[in-house]
Structure formats: structure tokens, C-alpha cells
Amino acid sequence: MNKRTAFLLTALLVALPVALRAADKPNIIFFLVDDMGWQETSVPFHTEVTALNRRYKTPNMERLAADGVKFTQAYASAVCSPTRVSALTGMNVARHRVTNWTLRKNVSPDSPSKQMTPPSWNVNGICTNADVERTMQVTPLPSLLREAGYRTIHVGKAHFGAKGTPGEEPLNLGFDVNIAGSCIGGPGSYWGEKNFSAAWRQGDRIWDVPGLEAYHGQNINITEALTLEAIKQMEKSVTDKKPFYLYMAHYAVHAPYENDHRYYQKYLNAGLKGNDAVRASMLESMDKSLGDLLATVKRLGIEDNTIILFMSDNGAPQEVARNFPLRGHKINPYEGGIREPMIVKWPGVTKPGTVCCDTVVIEDYFPTILELAGATGKTLQVVDGVSFVPLLKQTGKTPADRAFVWHFPHNYGQTPFSAIRVGPWKLIYHHISRKLELFNIPADISEKQNLVAQQPGKMKELAARLTQLLKERNAQMPTDKLTGKPIDWPDEVLGNRK
């Protein structure tokens, strides 16, 4: 054997394990829906079928649930940007301080209030750069996945950073590909005929969806256009023999409420009217996208090596049909604002048609996806999330004493609040009124009975723990305009029984 042959053989032997490891890595699809409520599907996440389950048609969600595991107590933040930042960083909202939705640089969407001033929160979102004003510097999930050999693909809504800041561009956050992601939280229009722009309606071009010019003027819904683009990227990755992470973040079913022509008449014929029929058509459009991705995975021969995670970013908004039996809606601290539909399919691991009633939260996606990908790496940020891989494998449970925290120090569609859930108990602290509410969620899923008077010990215990965790995470509180001081911590108002 000559030296050249020996060198080539040695190089091959060294490279072979790396190649095999790359081939063994699972493809991962994180399918995130916008503003979809817990009951806005034909898949029942409650213990019984509800009126909305009968109204909406989501057959591909049904198929995914039949092939995977359905989570009945999955939580997100009550509004979009906080959820998306938590998923990308593993941080709880109180820690990353992107506590409301972002859009314009240094401009908060908070409404004026005679009683409170919101804190100087991270209105410009997240970034990987140092010294960008009013942002949180982080190591994003896609950066770590890219280091582990993945092609990282962003399709749809980003909403990680404000206009004119680094975080508005997903390519600055570790994605190799960005299709249609920017600072906006909703599309100008769902219709290709309108160029996915709001200019025809209100003249503001900030809502224009970038990167979909090829579909301008066409009779196509943005949900369909995004799906076609995602499929192209999946095909390219398979051709290149590159494992992929696809963040399929749909604008659907966020406002503006514009029907998908393919399904709208069907719901009118079924007796739905106005926005009810529009909403139903948007949900079925989203579900069609899921079905198209599932079919593509099968066609490309990667079904056995592709993990699919389905989630919504917050509850359904106030102007659509309520998600009974849940109380509240988007932006609220009640279950209707934060409890989401979630399904996971991990071929060969998740048992088909199973149900998991353990509590999980959106920041758990960060460590979970890293574990699924076999990715490691140090992060700039403290990670609050906990991997739910043991739940998928049925080898572990959510600890009974694990605390889940929500924090919204804003006056926008809802007065400011903080909340905590531990086991069956949930405490909500309303900042302005200093009112405390205590609910036993399994026994009272509709949150009708405030148990503060009946359970003073539990109230005090949770108020103290919520205060401890908020302080540990450097949470920001609003300022009381009457006193000029920050709003009291939860454990400072234990005498309030109202």
C-alpha cells in the first residue's frame, strides 16, 4: 500500500463515523400555529368532545394524534413574542423580559394607564449581539442545531425582534434559510391577490410579508404558499443528505381574519356565518399544511426518521368563539389564554394514540429539541426549560413540585399580572388591584371558584414561591403612578382577600 492510498483510507475511516452520525440524526419539524385555541380542532384535548371540536375539521391533526402522543396540559405565554422567544432560548418570560409583542424599535404597544407605567422591557426582542439596546443577548436554538450539523430552516412568522434591530432577521439567529420571517406578528393579508400586504386596506407597509414575491397576484393563500416553500427546503435537504430542522411557524390563524377560498363555502353551507366560517376555513387551511408536510415526509422516504412537534403560541383571541370549558382568551392569565393544543410524533418512540396529562411549558421545547438532535453547546442565557423527552419515552414524569410561571407587566388588552402553577394549584396575582386568585385546575378547569378564602395556607405558599421565582429571574414590575414605586410583590399583599 503506497502512502497516498494509506492516507485516503485513513481519511475515509476518520470521516465515516461522522457521516454515519449525520445520517442517523433525526429530521425535526416544529409546527407552530398562531393564536390557535385549545379547542379549535376536531381533536379533543378535553376529557370530552366539545362544540368546537364538532365545528372544526382538522383531519391531519387527528392523524398526527393517532400516530403520536397528545399533551392535554401544554402551556405557552398569553401573547406571541414572549412564547416565541422562550422557545428559541429556553428562558422563562420573566427572565428574558420580552414580555409583550414587538414591532417598532423602542415603541411599546402598551395602552395608556392612569394607574401604572410598564417597565423598560426588552421591546426590541432578542439578538446574538452585545450592547443592542433593550434586547436580550442569547444563544438561539438554531445556532446550536447548526453546529450539530443541521440545516436550519425558518418558514413563516418570526416576531423575535423589532424593525431595524438584528433580531428581526432570523438569519441573524442561527437559521440558514429564512422564508417570510420579519418583525411582523401578522400578515398584511392572507391573499396572494393582495400581495400579502395591508397597503390596500390601511396603507401601512410594515405589515408586508417579505420573500413571497413569486406568489404576488396569484389566487393563493399565504398558508399554502409557505407550505410550498417549506416542501422545497425539505426536498433540498434530503437531496443534499443533510438533516434538517424546519421551524414551520404559520401566520395562521392570527388576524386579519380572511378566509381561505378553498374551504370557506363548505362552512357557510354547514350553517356557520361571518367570522365563524372564516375562522373555520383558516383552521382547515392550517391543517391542510400539516397534512402536506406529513405527505412530503412519507414521499421523501424519511418518515421513520422525522420527529414532528405541534403547538400553538397562545390562546384564541377575544373576538372569536370562546374555547369552553376554558375561561378567558389570548392575553389573559386564565387557561383560555395560555393552554395550548400539543401533539408529538417520534417514530419508534412515542406510542401511537397515547395521551400525556403531565404539565409542560413552551421553554421546555429548547432543551427537548436539543436532546432529540443530540446537540450540545454552551448558552449565554440561563435555561429554565426542562426536556420532556422522558415524557415522550414514558420513562419519567413532571415533578409534582415543579413551578410554572407567567409574567405580563403590561396594560394591553389585559391589566398586568403574574401567575404560577404547581401541581393542581394555580395562583394569579393582578398587579393593579393587588388581587389574588387561587384555583384547583383539575377540579375546576373553568376557573370559576376562587379558593383564596378556603385555602389561605396554599395561597401564602404559592405567593411566596411566585415572589421568589420572579426575583430570582430579575423580573420587572410595573410602577404604581400613585406612589412612584414598583408594584408590590405577590407575598407583600397577602392580606388582600378581595
User: Average pLDDT of 423-449?
Assistant: 98
User: Average pLDDT of 428-444?
Assistant: 98
User: At residue 411, does pLDDT exceed 50?
Assistant: yes
| CA pair distance 58, 46, nearest whole angstrom | 16
Residue 183 neighbours by CB under 8 Å, 6+ apart: 102, 103, 104, 158, 159, 161, 162, 163, 165, 168, 206
Angle, helices 222-239/274-299, rounded to nearest 10 degrees: 10
Contact 73, 339 (CB under 8 A): yes
Residue 2 neighbours by CB under 8 Å, 6+ apart: none
User: What is 27-393's CATH topology?
Assistant: Alkaline Phosphatase, subunit A (3.40.720)
User: Average pLDDT of 261-285?
Assistant: 97
CATH 3.30.1120.10, applies to 415-492: yes
Q: How confident is the model at residue 19 (pLDDT cuts 50, 70, 90)?
A: very low
Q: What is the reported pLDDT for 201?
A: 78
Q: What is the reported pLDDT for 321?
A: 95
User: Average pLDDT of 131-154?
Assistant: 98
| pLDDT above 90 coverage of the chain, percent | 93
User: At residue 391, does pLDDT exceed 70?
Assistant: yes
Q: How confident is the model at residue 16 (pLDDT cuts 50, 70, 90)?
A: very low
Q: What is the reported pLDDT for 24?
A: 84
Provide the CB-side half-sphere exposure for 163 (13 A, CA): 13
Q: Is the dihedral of CA 348, 75, 246, 186 positive or negative?
A: positive
Angle, helices 365-373/80-89, rounded to nearest 10 degrees: 40
Domain boundaries, the chain: 27-393, 415-492
User: Average pLDDT of 116-126?
Assistant: 97
| CA pair distance 125, 103, nearest whole angstrom | 9
User: Average pLDDT of 97-119?
Assistant: 97
Amino acid at 213: E
| CA pair distance 474, 400, nearest whole angstrom | 25
Q: How confident is the model at residue 23 (pLDDT cuts 50, 70, 90)?
A: low
**Which tens digits make up the pLDDT trace of 353-379?**
999 999 999 999 999 999 999 999 899
Q: What is the reported pLDDT for 8?
A: 43
Q: What is the reported pLDDT for 7?
A: 44
What is the chain's mean pLDDT, rounded?
94
pTM of the entire predicted model: 0.94
User: At residue 430, does pLDDT exceed 80?
Assistant: yes
Beta bridge mates, 339: 75
Please state which of the ranges 21-35, 97-111, 206-220, 272-286 shows the lowest mean pLDDT. 21-35
User: At residue 9, does pLDDT exceed 50?
Assistant: no
User: Average pLDDT of 488-493?
Assistant: 95
Q: Phi, psi at residue 177, to the nearest 5°? A: -130, 135
Strand locations in 88-176 (E): 116-117, 126-127, 136-137, 151-156
Q: What is the reported pLDDT for 203?
A: 74
Q: Give the pairing type, strands 27-33 and 403-408.
A: unpaired
Q: What is the reported pLDDT for 217?
A: 97
Q: What is the reported pLDDT for 6?
A: 47
Residue linked to cell 422557545: 87
Q: How confident is the model at residue 200 (pLDDT cuts 50, 70, 90)?
A: confident
User: At residue 134, does pLDDT exceed 80?
Assistant: yes
Please state which of the ranges 6-15, 133-142, 145-154, 412-421 shows the lowest mean pLDDT. 6-15
